[in-house]
Amino acid sequence: MARNETLIQYFEWDLGPDCRLWRQVSAQAGFLKRLGITGVWLPPAFKGQGGCQDTGYGVYDLYDLGEFRQKGGIPTKYGTRKQYLSAISALQKRDIQVLADIVLNHRMGADHTETVQARTVDRMNRERILQDLHPVDVWTAFTFPARQGKYSGFQWHWQDFTGTDMDDGHGSRQILLFEGKHWNPNVSPELGNFDYVMGADVDFTNEEVHQELYSWGKWYTETTGVNGFRLDSLKSIDSHFFEQWLKAMHQTGNHPDLFIGEYWSGDVFVLKNYLEQCRHCMRLMDVPLHYHLQQAASSNGHYDIRNLFHYTLSETDPGFAAAFVDNHDTQPGQALESWIMDWFRPQAYASILLSRCQLPIVFYGDLYGLKRGNPPVPFLREMIWIRHNLLTDNIVDLCDDDPQKACWMAWGRHPVIVLYTIADWKQRSFCEPRLAGRTITDITDPGHTLTFDDRGQVTVTCRPGGLAVYLLKEDWMKLKKVRIHLQ
């Protein structure tokens, strides 16, 4: 991929159920292009069990993209099928790639219950049986009566699932393993076996399920024309499945070839092992880097910033890493809440946008603000523009072995000098003869300008716990002219 690629996750968990996101995407396509966004990760587009209240992860019908009157209405939380396809088209007309969020692990909101024999297992160790086979009534019959077989006649029944977490007959919520089933061995060993997450757990060893997932994938790829996928909950899905499935998807539609997986682990060696198992068929979200950023923000100035990228995918496997600051799962109030403190968010984005990260992902809530009140991240729009217009791979570290300070210079057509600190006021002196006599401006404090002396020496400075991003005067003037169009 090109050096200046930048993706945006274009949703956050708390968006209202107003069915307007697809129309917003279409209206914002031109702005995203001017900003320097090259790819948009859209939320799950299929009907969830909660209808227009569902974020899309409570999957009910993969074929309903906001077309059928199911689960209380026609549109999904984000709009109708027609609006979804229009949003994709609006982005692609501006050479912005579109990633669809694909959720295959489970189904929720079944149409009928079925009676089946099942074993109760320990939530903390899914390999431990608490109760042997006994009859249970479970929500596993997905017949989609409103769709009436359009696009696919496949109906889901208990045989297509490994287990679930509710016995409707007794009103109890326990993890149930169906008769004749076993948890998939090719998943994370967390909690004994992490095959089960929620709802009715899809059985990836079932041949009919396999065929249906391939058929649906081809239908979806051809119907939407997306450029790639963000793949949800990899640690709970057979690690051998996606290598062949993605190859098959690449052969149809727009031949999607940008794939980003979510395997939630802060251990880089776990992620590297998964990449080996799936034969590097995708990038993975750099969860270890996210946690490093959180630790730096929460350390009260005691984190060693020199270790920020140590044991991260962005350092060890940069071509298979997707760096991010936060997302819908880590935002306040969510299951994986690990929100990076607001004071450090500009520094965190400088770390992934203005350094060596090949494919950073910007969070919707940081560009537009969160519905719950968190404001947009200061200078984020300017940093995206700088990345797109001024940066290349030529990064020169300017650190002087200070554990509380990061400083580097990115050489593109012109230089960009970045300095931030997690503690006291800092400065850094260096010499660059090619810049002798040139003036630079800090975009975070435009009144602060510095001039290299006749030997090319300068001392750059940064406020306590702050960020400074210096541009040559002429580049600052260009950014200043376009700033109004980035608002």
Indicate which residues carry an active-site annotation.
232, 262
- Report the alpha-carbon angle 257-260-263, nearest 5: 145
- Rounded alpha-carbon distances, angstroms, from residue 124 to 105, 129, 186, 232: 19, 11, 18, 22
Q: Give alpha helix (H) positions in 163-286.
A: 207-224, 241-250, 268-277
Q: b/e string for 178-217 if b means 16 or more Cβ within 10 A?
A: beebebbeebbeebebbbbbbbbbbbbebeebbebbeebb
478 vs 131: CA distance, rounded Å: 69
The DSSP H or E segment spanning 291 is: helix 287-298
What's the one-letter identity of residue 59?
Answer: V
Beta strands in 222-340 (DSSP E): 228-231, 258-261, 283-285, 321-324
Beta strands in 234-385 (DSSP E): 258-261, 283-285, 321-324, 360-363
| Residue positions counted in the chain | 487
DSSP designation for 142 = B
Q: Which residues are annotated as a binding site?
A: 105, 195, 201, 203, 301
Q: Which residues are annotated as a binding site for Ca(2+)?
A: 105, 195, 201, 203, 301
